[in-house]
Structure 1
Amino acid sequence: MIIGVLNQKGGVGKTTIATNLAAVIAKAGYRVLLVDADPQGSSMAWSSVREAEPLFPVISMAKPTLHRDLPEIAADYDVVIVDGAPRVNDLGRAAILASDIVLMPVQPSPYDVWASADTVQLVKEAQQFKENIKPVFVVNRKIVNTAIGRDVRNALSQFDFPILPVEICQRVGFAESASQGLAVIETDPKSDAAQEISQLAAQLVDMKAKPKTKKERKAA
């Protein structure tokens, strides 16, 4: 399974979600690969400051041939997470075409909702070539104890793409863990942040299923 974390708007928290999602899935026993498809290299930078033993490999593939190059590499893994690039259409299209699920984080602001139209259009174009791409929104960086998350859900409904039930809130734990190249499930596994990311993982991956053997991955 390849999950692309994508939005054409920058600063929506793609890398935070990608790194933390990969950590949760890896902790569950799955063989995970994180692909940094953003020329800015945020996931690679996160990985480079890590001193602890890595939970999963991180590679850089910020190129428009990603959709052709990645499937062969992905065959060795149960789940591949792609940290996509903003504002670069060729790279965005390639990441979408490479993905089975396109996870689109959206912050609860009208600017982010308006900007989502560009990503939605790219996904719809990609679906003309790959019909089984599954696009989903997730509300990210919601301010705790506010109704603005509900408001953004109403606004996103215009795009006719599913909106995941879980909402990822703005929490300092994400920044604190990232500064060490860690995920919140490592620094504080009982925190609200870790619980939210774990819920997100469960909505994307069957966490109760037994991870595939290498032979099963090759046959998939």
Structure 2
Amino acid sequence: MLIAITNEKGGSGKTNIAINLAVKLSLMGDETLLIDADPQRSVDVFTDIRADSSLPLLFNSVSKIDSSLLKEIQSLKQKYDSVVIDTGGRDSSEMRQALAVCDIAIIPVIPSDLDIAVLNKMILVFEQAKIYNPNAKALIVISKASPNPFLAKKVKALRDYISEKNLDDIFLMNSIIYEREAYRNAFSLGMGVSEYCKNNENAEIDFESFFDELVKFVNN
């Protein structure tokens, strides 16, 4: 399974999802590769922290930022059960190459007016990519949502907006990834929330719900 995490707007939580997904897949027994196609190279920072903390490197990772990304993916994906691609927060060659080869694109969206406007562009880019990758599907996940109940209306507004568009091969996830301090704390220790959280903390519950919904979608 080849999963691309994409959104042309920065700060939507792409890297957080990519890293935690790679950790979770590895803990579940998949041979996993995380491709860092983001110029910020946050995945490198994470793996360096993990190595310096003497934690086992659960997954392999490579950084690739150029026009040969597509060929690299096609070569490497045969060697792994799961490949996760973290792309940068802009409309880039790397993002479009990832969409052209992925099985599933995960599009994290913050529930805000600005992110909704950017989402329209991402939907168009994904539909263009399907010309070359007709079997691809996309999952939109509400990301970095505030757990403040007074902001629940923004989440509902975004959910209603997406549902009303009746998109083909683009689906809105029921799961929500909330803004949680545990994600930052886990990253600073070189860990995923599946490793860091104990006793069913909120971040772990959120991510497990997201992961279970993703697995169910893949298997259907």
TM-score (norm 1): 0.89
Match of 1:217 in 2: none
Q: Is the 8 A contact 1:24 1:197 kept in 2?
A: no
Q: CA deviation at 1:199?
A: 2.0
* Structure 2 match to 1:201: 211
Q: Which amino acid aligns with 1:97?
A: A
Q: How do 1:45-124 and structure 2 match up within 5 A?
A: 45-50=45-50, 51=53, 52-124=55-127
1:150 aligns with 2:195: no
Partner of 1:215: none
Query: Does structure 1 residue 2 correspond to structure 2 residue 2?
Result: yes
Match of 1:22 in 2: 22
Hey, what does 2:184 align to over in structure 1? 175
Aligned partners of 1:120 and 1:159 also within 8 Å: no
Q: Does 1:162 align with 2:168?
A: no
Higher mean Cα deviation, 58-67 or 151-160? 151-160
- Give the deviation of 1:76 after TM superposition: 1.3
Conservation of the 8 A alpha-carbon contact between 1:25 and 1:201: no
Aligned-partner SS, 1:75: helix
- Aligned-residue Cα RMSD (Å) equals 1.7
- Counterpart CA distance in 2 for 1:40 and 1:49 is 16
State the shift of 1:63 in Å: 2.0
Structure 1 counterpart of 2:133: 130
8 Å contact kept, 2:101–2:133? no
Partner of 2:194: 185
**Aligned-partner Cα distance in 1 for 2:205–2:137:** 24
Shift of 1:98: 2.3
Cα deviation digits, residues 160-203 of structure 1 (max 9, x gap): 22101110111100011111221111111422211221222222
Partner of 1:218: none
Residues in 1 aligned to 2:5 and 2:33: alpha-carbon distance in whole angstroms: 13
TM-score by length of 2: 0.89
Aligned length: 208
Contact 1:142 1:169 in 2 (8 A): yes
Unaligned runs of at least 5 residues, structure 2: none
The gaps in structure 1 that reach 5 residues or longer are: 210-220
Alignment partner, residue 42 of structure 1: 42
Q: CA deviation at 1:132?
A: 0.4
The percent of aligned pairs where both chains have the same amino acid is 28
Q: Report the Cα distance in structure 1 between the residues aligned to 2:58 and 2:134, rounded to whole angstroms.
A: 32
Tell me which stretches of 4 or more aligned residues in structure 1 moved more than 6 Å: none
